[in-house]
Amino acid sequence: MKKIILFVLSTVAGISGYSQGTVTIKNFTYQNIIILADLSSRTKSAKFPQKDTAVIRQLVSYFKNDCVMPGKKIGDNSSISFSPFSLPEGRTIDLESFRDLGDKQRFINSKGKYKNAGLQRKLDDLEGFARMQYKTVSNPGMDLISLLIERIEGGGLIKKDHSVTIGDEITRTHFSNHIYILTDGYLEFKFAGNPSNEYYFGVPQIEKLRKFCVAKGLTPGKALEANSSLGLKGYASTYNRLIDLHVLETAERDKDLIYLTYSHPKGLRDNEILEAVWRKWAKDSGFRSLEWKKY
């Protein structure tokens, strides 16, 4: 799990406090884990859904054991959600929604009225829902970036920091928003009548960038710096600076899984070009950070 989560583990405790004159300031940090699945034609691979559901299982385990910590920690306000890009709703567990601490702890520890309807049952339901989507949903193509923008701008997905002052005590709550995208990285789609191709990056665009790299002797990243028109334009949003974006690439299209060879030389493979395009777009869009990881 540590290989996937990266720096989230360093902030999970996230509790600190200090005094400033007669005022006591307490700081709390909680995690908002958002899992978005690209259920396009890539799911037809024999490796699915096992690779994606394994990642989901690890993130769920991290949420329970490292964030919420049933029986060890009180009052956690973290949240976790899963949804395919193609569905408006999925499954969400949001501990901040509880207003009564005692009720929250009974839910977390599956006690009292939550004996068979507590945190563990809801986590099992989230994983079960995810497995079912991989069995029943397969879209011909996904406009991933446009759909991602819609999710972010739609509200309710990203949590903002807030503070409460009671007497001489200030409580500040910080949320680390992490969006995990399970995909093959390809930004191509086949929806009929799509009104805009501004976030389309398919085989023709990959080949054009690759040829530019060969002609100029540049890496994909340097090529995009030299000629930004070869990539995708950024999309600025006030939410983006609050988001750590994780693109987990769970399939490589130009890799021969039998002979373990690639169609193109190292540095110019499809996934390396796509990583450069995603990184440039995320930087230009103002995201807090981007992690790209092959899994």
| pLDDT given at position 12 | 46
CB atoms within 10 A of CB 156: 9
| pLDDT given at position 86 | 82
| pLDDT given at position 15 | 56
pLDDT in tens, 156-182: 899 999 999 998 899 999 999 999 999
Which token pair is 166?
A: 């009671």
Whether 209 and 66 have beta carbons less than 8 Å apart is answered as no
What's the CA gap between 226 and 229, in Å, rounded?
Answer: 9
Which token pair is 38?
A: 């690209």
3-state helix, strand, coil in the chain (%, to 5): 40, 25, 35
Whats the size of the chain, residue-wise?
295
What's the CA gap between 169 and 192, in Å, rounded?
Answer: 57
| pLDDT given at position 88 | 80
What 3-state DSSP class applies to 10?
helix
Decide the pairing of beta strands 91-94 and 79-84: antiparallel
Q: Return the CA Rg of the chain.
A: 21
What 3-state DSSP class applies to 124?
helix
| pLDDT given at position 154 | 86
| pLDDT given at position 159 | 96
What's the CA gap between 250 and 241, in Å, rounded?
Answer: 26
What 3-state DSSP class applies to 95?
helix
Which token pair is 111?
A: 């006690």
| pLDDT given at position 186 | 81
Whether 75 and 104 have beta carbons less than 8 Å apart is answered as yes
Decide the pairing of beta strands 15-20 and 23-37: antiparallel
Residue-range domain boundaries for the chain: 2-200+234-294
| pLDDT given at position 105 | 97
| pLDDT given at position 6 | 41
pLDDT in tens, 101-130: 999 999 999 999 999 999 999 999 999 999
Name the stretches of the chain with pLDDT < 50.
1-13, 192-193, 195
